[in-house]
Structure 1
């Protein structure tokens, strides 16, 4: 099975054409579902994110003060999560206004709310997820009877695992039964359980894939990049509460600009970005990553504001296959007008909503 060989400098090249405008921090205006010129800047923005390498634009945006700079007088507060469903609970309860998150929880909240809950306003990261297993599991067939962890029931990696297992002819259920026992587990606990031999593997985002490989001797059975055309699949997007977007388009535009600036900062600081990402991970978790783990993790991700909307109907199908998602339409899930307004200002190409929203 082929393995991605991207390194951070190649990631920089991949996003350079879109992000040639590094350092710009002006906020563009764009229509919302209400008055296109209405709304007021928010006094506060409460932002969620995960302490994962797949959330590096969020980590850098906070570590380097990028978000606060573009937000100006708007107070920024943050909250960390282990996986998407927990972040969605906070978003739905009004405890946060926006979050960096995986695509499947974004889909779920949109469908369950009938389109009233939230909008994806930008992408952040593609790639960086895999199924890693213990020695002795050398093929999909060897997974029968195995116990495999995921970050949380219904999160993006959980859905990917369950859908892939179905394609391999295995049954699963949301209570851990079936041919393969899927056990949603907090990522750090997954590492411990794998080291103790209590689970046989896990489908995880980076840096946890690399932690199990480097620190615990796991092997990659499935790199998710191998399952998608050109290896491109969304791992992290930027999701905003719809009522917040409608009320404060200027503030959301500033957040989107901060995301662009953070992605650009990573591209322009390839030599120092790993250390800065690790510094934020250390601050958030109390422990940083080894050089080997961080290098391997960063080699498997690409940072881009394109949310790859063209993949989302497939993700919906995966969620249905996994039994973690209700029926429903995702038409309207994306509102990329603020993002594309900012890109157009700098002569960069617009990104597509794939017919699933406004662009």
Structure 2
């Protein structure tokens, strides 16, 4: 088993943990601008443009379906939808804090960091998007946690949701690891798109990754699943992806946010009612994002590993915050009170005769 230092961009601990603490002040000042408030009032709560971020992952199926099927644009009307594809959540948070994004599909760990570092001011979770769909896939010779000592594992980015899950699980198994490198197991943050080739060449012993990369490791690279993350959560339910929005944007443009949510709900409903069309849209979205469409066996397996849902699975979020402390990607546990604003989503769901969702006591419903 190798312990090579692998290529690929890394996010330093200082950048991952400190950048979030610096930019929110800019956002807070911008939110107080009289020009912005005047523009919002004049628009009646409708923005000229909404800038949406997401990943080229099957766990972001709601975003891919919504974009490819024009479900967002159909609801947004005259509001222009501009999209940007990211590799992992910390980079998305940086774009949100810098004012380059208005809304984003993202995992819980970077969301929690963003909320904590901005003292609860910068973002709100407004909907769920996916549960499940993440695994630790390893080389065939690894059969137990003990076999991981001395290995090199990958995660998509330091401080992202899978990185936190990997570090937390390793710590629970008594395997030391560090955000600064070293320990019983070396964790090398690596772009999802690079992980399969590095695993196939033997330069990686395993990776904790979202779908479709876990299925690619299994079906295309001969890996085996050591941990299906669903097995670590009550009833197998945990948040992988949810939809967040800048608080300033939510306050200024409630009609645009409602339109975005209607598109999100339509995408989730399509995923449940017509999986063939939904998977075709996901594949088209992956290709449009600069990747290659997935082979049918990979896409089918990936699809079975997750649930596309507008339920944010709020019950799992506080445990995610605890995990960040255990993983060493957060200095202290974040107070999550107020992180959800599910009122607009529940209004949309009620209008459509669909079950409403709960914030679990952590915000508005």
TM-score normalised according to structure 2 size: 0.87
Task: Trace 1:288-299 onto structure 2 (pairs within 5 A).
Answer: 288-299=293-304
Deviation for aligned residue 1:146? 0.8
Q: Does 1:332 align with 2:338?
A: yes
Deviation for aligned residue 1:191? 1.1
Is the contact between residue 48 and residue 100 of structure 1 (CA under 8 Å) also seen in structure 2?
yes
Once the two structures are superposed, residues 61-81 of structure 1 have per-residue CA deviations (whole angstroms, 9 ceiling, x without a partner) of 000111001000100000000
Range 326-335 or range 299-308, more displaced: 326-335
1: CA distance, partners of 2:114 / 2:83? 21
Once the two structures are superposed, residues 254-287 of structure 1 have per-residue CA deviations (whole angstroms, 9 ceiling, x without a partner) of 1111100011112222233222211111121231
Of residues 235, 238, 256, the one that matches 2:240 is: 235
Is the contact between residue 100 and residue 236 of structure 1 (CA under 8 Å) also seen in structure 2?
yes
2: CA distance, partners of 1:208 / 1:176? 24
Once the two structures are superposed, residues 28-67 of structure 1 have per-residue CA deviations (whole angstroms, 9 ceiling, x without a partner) of xxxxxx9xx9752000000000000000110010001110
Match of 2:285 in 1: 280
Match of 1:120 in 2: 125
Task: Trace 1:151-230 onto structure 2 (pairs within 5 A).
Answer: 151-230=156-235
Length, aligned pairs only: 324
1: CA distance, partners of 2:173 / 2:272? 38
1: CA distance, partners of 2:290 / 2:266? 24
Give the gaps of 5 or more residues in structure 1: 1-33
Q: What secondary structure does 1:95 align onto?
A: coil
Of residues 313, 316, 321, the one that matches 2:326 is: 321
Deviation for aligned residue 1:176? 2.1
Match of 1:357 in 2: 363
1: CA distance, partners of 2:328 / 2:340? 24
Match of 1:302 in 2: 307
Match of 1:255 in 2: 260
Match of 1:47 in 2: 52
Deviation for aligned residue 1:247? 0.4
Give the gaps of 5 or more residues in structure 2: 1-36
Match of 1:27 in 2: none
Match of 2:149 in 1: 144
Match of 1:344 in 2: 350
Deviation for aligned residue 1:107? 0.5
Of residues 131, 134, 138, the one that matches 2:139 is: 134
Deviation for aligned residue 1:329? 0.7
TM-score normalised according to structure 1 size: 0.88
Is the contact between residue 112 and residue 326 of structure 1 (CA under 8 Å) also seen in structure 2?
no
